[in-house]
Structure 1
């Protein structure tokens, strides 16, 4: 933490990573400044220093720690989204059985069947691969 209780780095999240800023609250104007020092990609682990910036060991360690935490967060979110998809499938089955009109079913049946067939095919293939590997 900096003297003002602020963290030494700020990570502006973007789709595949973040832009990394060093937080400067100890300047002459007593203003909070964010100095961009790097761009990181969590998908491939790439860290690109900004311009001529030389990253310190502390910078690199902070970035590595953030990337590990971010990857864990994204993995947890991914599983949560799958759990939600399972709930949605169950709710969809209940809707189709109890409330859907013929016109509503006609509008979605083919797309649902194709998506479920695709998912089932992938799941069965993956399960077979796991059984063969054991």
Structure 2
């Protein structure tokens, strides 16, 4: 099993990860995680932990993880938006077929304001893209 473990472990945090070297080469053959760095997904900053010196292999592993993590977060963000479209459709069906007047009274203003804000933003962004000559959305 120790031969199957990666050389680095990334403990996900709010804006990135704590980076550990995985060590199985000790007398007890236990798995040890030595924290070597913090990485920020948003700005790409890599800060060595304590007096840890990062090797080129460490930096390469962190760069690979960072690229994969950013791609994953981008896919998740897009998926979340598409789920929102589904929820809007389900909300429309609920409002039309099952909602009580009291339920509608409780949610109508909040939904109308949120949808107005979203629509205004989407229309403005689409107009900006069209003015820039990106006719792919037309």
Gaps of 5+ in 1: none
Counterpart of 2:30 in 1: which secondary structure?
Answer: coil
1:3: how far off?
5.0
Give the equivalent residue in structure 1 for 2:111.
112
Deviations 1:67-111 (A, max 9, x none): 000000000000000010000000000000000000000000000
RMSD of aligned alpha carbons: 1.0
Q: Matched residues in 2 for 1:114 and 1:122: separation?
A: 12
Structure 1 segments (4+ residues) deviating >4 Å: none
The answer to whether 1:52 aligns with 2:51 is yes
Counterpart of 1:55 in 2: which secondary structure?
Answer: coil
Gaps of 5+ in 2: 134-138
Count of equivalent residues: 133
Instruction: State the TM-score, normalizing by the size of structure 2.
Output: 0.94
Q: Matched residues in 2 for 1:131 and 1:104: separation?
A: 39
